[in-house]
């Protein structure tokens, strides 16, 4: 992804404009609708099977879910801070903050891989019961989105290192950032649904 040389205002916070490309917002909204349907399908199935779902839920490591939530929140903060830094023409800071977001995203994936491995090693799989069917499907689809987001972050990081983002060239950065925030927003629902709600 290259920086798009479309003039953008110094700060989105002071204007009535949509950050990034409008097309990505259409995509984001479609993704949110799809995941929203998944979340409702999960809770709909939970009704009437509360005890069975709770029994399986208790075998999850809530601490790992908490760590992953904090990692995505911090990464999202780093990305929006990078956009702010670009508006202020602080290109080195942009790269540093994007690097931090990538580190958090990779850490999220490592924790997820550790969690999956532990479950599979203890004989729990997608076929174990309804709860774990939802658990592996929902977190698996989400993990694919994290990987796509990480790819975008790496491209933006490389662009930032070449100084391609500045006050007049933030559109590409804002577009990628919006996608990453969506990944965070989805996890904000997944963590309580799968790990906390009972």
Partner 1 sequence: MKTVLINPLHRTLLILVVVTGAAFWIRSDGLTGVTGGIATLAIVWLKGRLIVLDFMELRHAPALWRWLLQGWLMLTTALILLFYYIGRSGVTF
Q: Which regions of 31-143 does DSSP assign to beta strands (E)?
A: none
User: Does 102 participate in binding partner 1 (rule CB under 8 A)?
Assistant: no
Going from the C-alpha of 155 to that of each of 66, 118, 151, 193, the distances in angstroms are 28, 32, 6, 32
User: Does 64 participate in binding partner 1 (rule CB under 8 A)?
Assistant: no
Instruction: Give the one residue of 13, 23, 121, 122 binding partner 1; rule: CB under 8 A.
Output: 13
Secondary element (H or E) of residue 175: helix 171-191
Assigned token pair, 51: 């005890």
User: Does 19 participate in binding partner 1 (rule CB under 8 A)?
Assistant: yes
User: Does 9 participate in binding partner 1 (rule CB under 8 A)?
Assistant: no
Residue 37 CA to residue 33 CA, distance in Å, equals 6
Task: Tell the smallest beta-carbon distance from residue 132 to partner 1 (Å).
Answer: 18
3-state helix, strand, coil in the chain (%, to 5): 75, 0, 25
Q: Which stretch binds partner 1 (CB under 8 A): 24-32, 113-121, 129-137, 142-150?
A: 24-32
Assigned token pair, 175: 């577009």
Task: Tell the smallest beta-carbon distance from residue 68 to partner 1 (Å).
Answer: 11
Using CB under 8 A as the criterion, which residues of the chain lie in contact with partner 1 when the complex forms? 12-19, 25, 29, 32-33, 36, 39-40, 43-44, 46-48, 50, 62, 66, 69-70, 73-74, 76-77, 79-81, 83-84, 174, 178, 181-182, 184-185, 188-189, 191-193, 195-198
């Amino acid at each position: 992804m290259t920086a798009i040389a479309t003039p953008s205002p110094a700060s989105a916070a002071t204007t009535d404009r949509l950050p990034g490309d409008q097309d990505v917002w259409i995509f984001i909204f479609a993704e949110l609708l799809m995941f929203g349907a998944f979340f409702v399908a999960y809770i709909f199935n939970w009704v009437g099977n509360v005890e069975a779902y709770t029994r399986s839920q208790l075998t999850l490591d809530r601490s790992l879910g908490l760590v992953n939530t904090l990692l995505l929140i911090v990464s999202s903060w780093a990305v929006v801070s990078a956009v702010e830094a670009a508006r202020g023409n602080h290109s080195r800071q942009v790269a540093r903050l994007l690097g931090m977001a990538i580190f958090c995203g990779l850490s999220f994936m490592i924790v997820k891989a550790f969690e999956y491995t532990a479950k599979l090693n203890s004989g729990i799989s997608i076929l174990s019961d309804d709860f774990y069917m939802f658990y592996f499907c929902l977190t698996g689809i989400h993990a694919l989105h994290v990987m796509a987001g990480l790819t975008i972050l790496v491209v933006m990081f490389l662009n930032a290192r070449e100084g391609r983002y500045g006050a007049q060239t933030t559109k590409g950065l804002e577009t990628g950032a919006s996608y990453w925030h969506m990944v965070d927003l989805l996890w904000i629902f997944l963590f309580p649904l799968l790990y906390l709600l009972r």
